Amino acid sequence: MRQKFVPAVEFARKSLARKIIRRRRAAGLTQADLARRASIRPETLNRIERAKASADVGTVEKIVRALEKAESETR
């Protein structure tokens, strides 16, 4: 059986998407909640979570900061 190789960009998008979704759900946030907290458009977050778009560093930093704040609020 031939092994299927996933291109690096696609792998990175899917990996980031899984991490964001897992942390967002653990914090009890909807996509709309997280997008608002991160000051990004809900459509942008949706595309990132579906691995349909690559997020730039600034956007990822906004999402991470919003998730960290939400996680600290639930502790």
pLDDT tens-place string over residues 24-69: 999 999 999 999 999 999 999 999 999 999 999 999 999 999 999 9
Residue 5 has pLDDT above 80, yes or no: no
- Comparing CA positions, the residue from 20, 16, 9, 14 lying closest to residue 67 is 20
CA–CA gap between residue 3 and residue 61 (Å, rounded):
34
CA–CA gap between residue 14 and residue 73 (Å, rounded):
27
Whole-model pTM: value is 0.89
